[in-house]
Chains A and B, each alone.
Chain A
Amino acid sequence: MKIIVCIKQVPDTTEIKINPATGTLIREGVPSIMNPDDKGGLEMALELKEKHNAHITVLTMGPPQADSILREAMSMGADRAILLTDKRFAGADTLATSHALAGALRKLDFDLIITGRQAIDGDTAQVGPQIAEHLGLPQVTYLRDLSFDGNKTFTLTRETEEGYQLLEADAPCLVTVLASARKARYMRVRGIVEAYSRDVEIWGFEQIEVNEEFLGLKGSPTQVKKAFAKDMKSPGSVYEAEPEEAVGIIISKLKEKFII
């Protein structure tokens, strides 16, 4: 089985700052990490590697320094790493990003594509589903579990707001995974040493199969109007009360604020 895991390097959002003039993220001095949902997805792939001898390719689009998350993925056990980097990819929104990734995926063999549900810097949850659309693949999102029958069928547990759905999908398909689905393994020292003795493949526009119109700033219909840090809300009040009393408290609070 061949699995491709799409991963993204993101700023660690616990330490994020926004440039008030431009409304964009200040990336200098902010540590970069592998997006947590992607890491959950990679762990799922590694489990399939152990159980079903799967071959794992990790794929990312980003600036040259995104190399470090590919090394991290190889340290954890990924077999092959590809970095999509090209000036023509720059300034991409989710649509242009998914076109570039789909362009690379057209050049690769796979039975399963795994992406994270969403990246913690943009929180859109769009890139995975868009890739599936570009490639005409079935997609199942928000996975908290996955198993493989050893032949061609995946059994998938999809988280919903009320509970979960149990689904089946045949290869090839695309799934998006939650960080909480798996506790990612630690990079072992040997893995790190070996990751740096191997190569990360660098792919540019010439290596992928996509119309240039769809890429980068040109291919990006999204325009950021404004970005800002959310004001801290004042802390709420906690009441411990029986249901009837609680209803009374809520009604009186809502009246107090002239909401009802």
Chain B
Amino acid sequence: MDIFCNEQHDLIRQSVRQFAETEIKPLAQELDEKEQFSYPLTKRMGELGLFGMYIAPEYGGQGTDYLSYIIAVEEIARVDGSQAATLAAHNSLGIGPINRYGTEEQKIQYLPRLCTGEALWGFGLTEPDAGSDSRGSRTVALPDGDDWVINGSKIFITNAATKITLGSTIQAVTGTQGDDKSFSTIIVPQDTPGYSAAEMHRKMMWRASNTGQLFLDGCRVPKSNLLGKEGEGSKIMLSTLDSGRLAIAAMGLGLAQGAYEMSLAYAKERQQFGKPLIKFQAIAFKLADMATKVETARNLLYKACWLKDNQQPYAKEAAMSKLYCSEVAKWVADEGVQIHGGYGLMKDYDIERFYRDQRLLQIGEGTSEIQRLVISRHIGC
């Protein structure tokens, strides 16, 4: 227990850690190697209650605070980035916007199934030519009678192309406001004619997570599939990313924690020049710095969660957490490989996977540069 965590948080951590170590850890390396999404693990994470944790029980959720969810992501990421990615993307980007902006009908229709681990949902924002510049997206939705007709494509969409994906929330241009484009978010079920999702392969990291490329070709959905109000797409997207950043930060924190623990254990065991590596100050100081950075990252992230849970503004702290935790993950994984020496370059050692997995964290859901932009605006630059 600490200043941010109560006993309930501690029990959630205990349970998720035990699950991750017993059920995920033995499979992580092989799933990564085979680039294989695990339906059984997704289902089991659902049974444990990890999907829809912060969603109200009447919609099938568990009714926890946001910090509980962040702790769960952290604990899964401590063992495997891919499963943490499935979890974080589905909760923050799949479930999150429907929960926050959906009508009562939409929430009842989608959320209960999305909270089970038997169904996933994507969030289609990024396009081939619109990454950090999300306003540059070209996917267009035009009204036609009682329908929207959508044309365009999306790329790098987590969970969007699995066999259990029910659909995605698509951001599309729906008009103009002055000289500017205005965006809306629209619910597109997976079986909509003109809609297709293709799995993307040959990733460097999160290889056991699902990444989809989406094609919308005269894709027609009823007007009632609009999520939130027309023209509010940018607002929905930005607020979704604010809370999503906390989960990416949690992935960085968990990865850093895991990399630190395995490096410490290795340095205790590995003998060179007749003594364990931890007895060499050069290594001991690296480990001391790892422990310090992980602790600092955790305090920053939990503070941001505390702000969110207490209905305080948290966007600046969320950006700081995402920036800092992902950079810490990069540093710790890198030094972790250094401590492991030649073995750290081999796939038999988890640190090799962690070293690859961390690299997304400074890019996805807003690059480190975009986080700095967000922070700089918050501090009046």
What is A's interface to B at a CB cutoff of 8 Å? 67-68, 71-72, 75, 186-193, 195-196
**What is the bound-complex CA distance between A188 and B50, given in angstroms?**
9
Beta-carbon contacts of B49-83 to A below 8 Å, as 1s and 0s?
11001000100001110001000100000000000
Q: List 9 A-B contacts (CB under 8 A).
A: A71-B7, A187-B14, A189-B48, A189-B50, A189-B62, A189-B68, A190-B63, A192-B8, A193-B62
Interface residues of B, dominant DSSP? helix
Contacts of A68 in B (CB 8 A): 7, 10-11
Contacts of B18 in A (CB 8 A): 186
**What is the bound-complex CA distance between A195 and B14, given in angstroms?**
15
> Which listed residue (A71, A186, A190) contacts B19, Cβ 8 A?
A186
A192 and B11 in contact, given A186-B18, A186-B19 (Cβ under 8 angstroms)? yes
Beta-carbon contacts of B78-115 to A below 8 Å, as 1s and 0s?
00000000000000000000000000000000000000
**What is the bound-complex CA distance between A67 and B12, given in angstroms?**
15
Whether the pair B48, A192 counts as a contact (CB closer than 8 A) is no
A72 and B11 in contact, given A188-B49, A189-B48, A190-B62 (Cβ under 8 angstroms)? yes
Contacts of A75 in B (CB 8 A): 11, 15
Nearest-CB residue, chain B, relative to A68: B7
B351 to chain A, nearest CB (A): 23
Contacts of B72 in A (CB 8 A): 189
Contacts of B232 in A (CB 8 A): none
Whether the pair A192, B19 counts as a contact (CB closer than 8 A) is no
Within 8 A of A (CB), among B1-40: 7-8, 10-12, 14-15, 18-19
| Interface flag for B369 (CB, 8 Å) | no
**What is the bound-complex CA distance between A20 and B74, given in angstroms?**
38
| Interface flag for B47 (CB, 8 Å) | yes
Contacts of A192 in B (CB 8 A): 8, 11-12, 15
A78 to chain B, nearest CB (A): 14
Contacts of A187 in B (CB 8 A): 11-12, 14-15
**What is the bound-complex CA distance between A67 and B10, given in angstroms?**
13
A13 to chain B, nearest CB (A): 17
**What is the bound-complex CA distance between A186 and B15, given in angstroms?**
6
Nearest-CB residue, chain B, relative to A188: B49
Contacts of B19 in A (CB 8 A): 186
Nearest-CB residue, chain A, relative to B53: A189
Nearest-CB residue, chain B, relative to A189: B49
A193 and B8 in contact, given A75-B15, A186-B15, A187-B15 (Cβ under 8 angstroms)? yes
A23 to chain B, nearest CB (A): 28
Q: A71-B8, A186-B15, A189-B64 are in contact. List 5 more A-B contacts (CB 8 A).
A: A68-B10, A186-B19, A189-B68, A190-B62, A193-B8
